[in-house]
Amino acid sequence: KPGEQKLAKEPSSLQCMHLAVVACGDRLEETLIMLKSAVLFSSRRLCFHIFAEDSLRPEFEKKLKEWPSSYTKKFESNFYPITFSVGNAQEWKKLFKPCAAQRLFLPVILKDVDSLLYVDTDVLFLRPIDDMWHLLREFNSTQLAAMAPEHEIPKIGWYSRFARHPYYGTTGLNSGVMLMNLTRIRSTHFKNSLIPGGLTWEEMLYPLYQKYKNYITWGDQDLLNIIFYFNPECLYVFPCQWNYRPDHCMYGSNCRGAEEEGVSILHGNRGVYHDDKQPTFKALYEVIRDFPFEDNLFQSLYYPLQSKFLDTVHTLCGRIPQVFLKQIEKTMKKVYENRVIVYLGANHRY
C-alpha cells in the first residue's frame, strides 16, 4: 500500500520519537508523571532525552527501572548534564525557572537527532505522541519549529498587553510544547536585530540575550518569541488543544479546538498540579500519577477521573469536563482496541 511504502522509507532516525525535557530542583516527580503519560498512550518507540542536575539522575534511573517491563521496552532514556555552549552558564541558569534556558541549546547538544519534541515538566499527554509527531510532515520547506500561541484573545494576552520586546504574531508564543526539526535549525541562518546578515542559531543566542535581557520577563520563551518575530516563515503554529493551559478556561472557555476535539496535551503551568486553584488540572495529574501500570485503563484511570471531576464543576475549568475527557477517552479506546487485536493475533497463531 502507498502509505506503508512511505513509512518503510522513513530514515532510521525517525523510527524513534525523540522527547526532551529539562528537570532541575523539585521537578523530579512532575517529570516522571509526564514521561509516564507519554509511555501509557504512545505506540511507537520513544527516545527520552533528560537534561537534569547530577543529583537527580540516580533517582530518575531508579524510578524508570521500577516500571513494568511491558512499558520499559517501549522507550530508551538518555541523560545529560545541564550545559550551555555560549555565554555565562550562571546567567543562563538563572534566566527564568531553574535550567529552563537549556531548551535553547538542544539543537547544539543533540547533533545526531534530526527531529525532537521538547516539553516542560508540567505537561501531560492525553493522546499518543505519535499524533504530534505527524505534524512534522505538515511543515513546509521553510518551517523548522512548531509552537502554540501564548493566548487566543489579544485583549487578555500577556504579550499583547505588557511585552517590551518583539514577539511573534498578535499574542506571542508559548514554548512549553515545542516541536523542532533540529537539522533545519542547525543549517539555517536567521534574520535578527543584531547584524544585517544572518546568524546561526548558536551564534545568535547570547548576543540576543545581551541585547534584550533588561526587557524580557519569561526568559527563554521571550527569546524564542524574538527569534520568530524576525523569522515568522520558520514557524508552524499548531492549535491550542496541543498546549492547553489554565488560561484557556479560567477566563471562560477560549480554545475552540479543545471544545471540538478535546485536549491533546495538558500544560499545567502556574503550579496548578500542586495547589487548589485549578482542581480540574490537579485531578488529571493525580489520576495519572496514581495509575497502576498494568491495570485496566478505564477502570483505574478514566472512571476515577470522572469521579474527581464531579468535585470541580463549581470552577470555570470544571464546568467543561468534556473538553478534558473527550480526547483521553478516544485514546484509551484505541489502546484497548490495539491490545485486543494483538491478543487475538497472538492466539490465532496457535
140: domain CATH number is: 3.90.550.10
Q: Looking at 180, 210, 238, which one is the last position of a domain?
A: 238
Looking at residue 341, what is its pLDDT?
Answer: 64
Q: Looking at 238, 271, 286, which one is the last position of a domain?
A: 238
Q: Please tell me whether residues 212 and 314 are part of one structural domain.
A: no
Q: Please tell me whether residues 275 and 298 are part of one structural domain.
A: yes
Q: Please tell me whether residues 45 and 178 are part of one structural domain.
A: yes
Rounded CA-CA distance 77/21 in Å is 11
106-157 tens-digit pLDDT = 999 999 999 999 999 999 999 999 999 999 999 999 999 999 999 998 888 8
Q: Looking at 188, 223, 238, which one is the last position of a domain?
A: 238
| Parts of the chain with a pLDDT under 50 | 1-14, 349-350
Q: Please tell me whether residues 160 and 192 are part of one structural domain.
A: yes
Looking at residue 345, what is its pLDDT?
Answer: 59
Residue reference for cell 525523540: 18
Residue 163 has φ and ψ, to the nearest 5°, of -60, 140
Looking at residue 8, what is its pLDDT?
Answer: 34
**Residue 138: exposure state from Cβ atoms within 10 A (0-12, 13-18, ≥19):** exposed
Looking at residue 100, what is its pLDDT?
Answer: 79
Q: Alpha helix locations (H) across 232-278?
A: 256-261
Q: Does residue 9 form part of some domain? A: no
Structural domain span for residue 52: 17-238
Q: Please tell me whether residues 60 and 23 are part of one structural domain.
A: yes
Looking at residue 117, what is its pLDDT?
Answer: 98
Q: Which of 344, 343, 329 is closest to 298 using CA atoms? A: 329
Q: Please tell me whether residues 231 and 255 are part of one structural domain.
A: no
Rounded CA-CA distance 344/350 in Å is 10
Q: How many residues does the chain have?
A: 350
Q: Please tell me whether residues 44 and 174 are part of one structural domain.
A: yes
Q: Please tell me whether residues 281 and 189 are part of one structural domain.
A: no
Q: Please tell me whether residues 70 and 112 are part of one structural domain.
A: yes
Number of independent structural domains in the chain: 2
